[in-house]
């Protein structure tokens, strides 16, 4: 596995491998099995797999979250090698931002809800860094996790708008055995909170069952709050949304699939998760 630190090294790598297909997995490091599932899928589907590790400051709207974001580079590199990755790109902040970006993104209604609503400027930061990385890596396919459903929607829009010549591959959320969605932030949970954390997925499943059985979104917040009772979770949002537009739904009339998305704090750690729910044909 090659470790590339500069844009020039990446350019040279490209010119040496022009005829080979490239799969790309952008990450912020502190890797876990969720990231590795994306890498392994890319390895299976492409001649070469490039993974980037870059904690992107412009997508953090909270200085303390950026400062405390876990960094485990040595371990990450070993895990990527094991997973069959061919190239790790490890740029510095100065390299990615020699000057503040002169362009910005407004994803419209897509970013006025959920993560975009509660993390001001987050998706602009995501759009700016992913567009730069797409230009540098020039992948044939890029791999993202459904865990960050809204991010997938924003990147799909950006890829279409900027005519990036690549396919997006969205991979299912990888969970711990107890249901907790794997996340780099999980390692910052206290022991007590780690034990409580699976309650979030359990609440999502209860809401999901409610939607299927009752056919209505009414009462879902109360249901989730009841489900989280007895834990330290503080719900930031829980929304039932259209899977494509991500706009909140008040009615399930003529809708066959929805996503239930949640963000909640456990202590000072903010966790997000979502499930897709098939509603089937209306009776």
- Residue 40 as a binder of ligand AMP (CB under 6 A): the answer is no
- Residue 85 as a binder of ligand AMP (CB under 6 A): the answer is no
- Residue 38 as a binder of ligand AMP (CB under 6 A): the answer is yes
- Residue 174 as a binder of ligand AMP (CB under 6 A): the answer is yes
- Residue 182 as a binder of ligand AMP (CB under 6 A): the answer is yes
d(CA 119, CA 62): 8
Closest residue to ligand AMP, based on beta-carbon distance: 145
For residue 31, the minimal CB distance to ligand AMP (Å) is: 7
Binding-site string for ligand AMP from residue 130 to residue 149, where x marks contact by CB under 6 A and - marks none: --------------xx-xx-
For residue 15, the minimal CB distance to ligand AMP (Å) is: 27
Residues with active-site annotation: 35
- Residue 173 as a binder of ligand AMP (CB under 6 A): the answer is yes
User: Torsion angle of alpha carbons 157, 158, 161, 163, nearest 10°?
Assistant: -120
Choose one: 32-40, 114-122, 188-196, 200-208; the region binding ligand AMP (CB under 6 A).
32-40
Near ligand AMP in 186-225, by CB under 6 A: none
> Angle at the Cα of 213 (from 210 to 217), degrees rounded to 5?
45
- Contact assessment for residue 51 and residue 39, using Cβ atoms and an 8 Å cutoff: yes
Cβ distance to ligand AMP smaller for residue 1 or 55: 55
For residue 214, the minimal CB distance to ligand AMP (Å) is: 29
Cβ distance to ligand AMP smaller for residue 14 or 71: 71
- As to burial, measured by CB atoms within 10 angstroms (0-12 exposed, 13-18 middle, 19+ buried), residue 216 is middle
Q: How far is CA 65 from CA 93, 107, 126, 213, 271, in A?
A: 17, 24, 16, 39, 12
- Residue 54 as a binder of ligand AMP (CB under 6 A): the answer is no
Choose one: 67-75, 95-103, 178-186, 242-250; the region binding ligand AMP (CB under 6 A).
178-186
For residue 11, the minimal CB distance to ligand AMP (Å) is: 24
Among 22, 23, 34, 231, binds ligand AMP (CB under 6 A): 34
Cβ distance to ligand AMP smaller for residue 24 or 105: 24
Choose one: 28-36, 88-96, 131-139, 251-259; the region binding ligand AMP (CB under 6 A).
28-36
Return residues touching ligand AMP (CB under 6 A). 27-28, 34-35, 37-38, 144-145, 147-148, 171, 173-174, 181-184
């Amino acid at each position: 596995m090659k470790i590339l630190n500069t844009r020039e090294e990446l350019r040279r790598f490209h010119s040496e491998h022009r005829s080979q297909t490239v799969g790309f997995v952008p990450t912020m490091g502190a890797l876990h099995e969720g990231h590795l599932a994306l890498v392994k899928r890319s390895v299976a589907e492409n001649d070469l797999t490039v993974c980037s590790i870059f904690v992107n400051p412009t997508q953090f709207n909270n200085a303390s979250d950026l400062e405390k974001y876990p960094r485990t580079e040595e371990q990450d590199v070993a895990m990527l090698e094991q997973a069959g990755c061919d190239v790790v790109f490890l740029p510095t902040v100065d390299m990615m931002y020699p000057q503040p970006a002169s362009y910005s993104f407004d994803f419209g209604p897509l970013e006025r809800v959920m993560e975009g609503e509660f993390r001001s400027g987050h998706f602009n930061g995501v759009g700016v860094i992913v567009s730069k990385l797409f230009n540098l890596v020039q992948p044939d396919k890029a791999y993202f996790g459904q865990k960050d459903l809204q991010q997938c929607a924003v990147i799909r829009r950006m890829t279409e708008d900027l005519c990036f010549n690549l396919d997006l591959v969205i991979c299912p959320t990888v969970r711990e055995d107890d249901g907790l969605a794997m996340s780099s932030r999980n390692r910052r949970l206290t022991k007590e909170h780690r034990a409580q954390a699976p309650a979030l997925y359990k609440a999502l499943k209860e809401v999901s069952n409610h939607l299927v059985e009752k056919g209505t979104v009414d009462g879902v917040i109360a249901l989730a709050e009841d489900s989280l009772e007895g834990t330290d979770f503080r719900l930031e949002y829980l929304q039932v949304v259209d899977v494509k537009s991500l706009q909140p739904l008040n009615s399930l009339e003529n809708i066959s699939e929805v996503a239930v998305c949640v963000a909640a704090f456990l202590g000072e750690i903010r966790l997000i998760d979502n499930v897709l729910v098939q509603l089937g044909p209306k009776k």
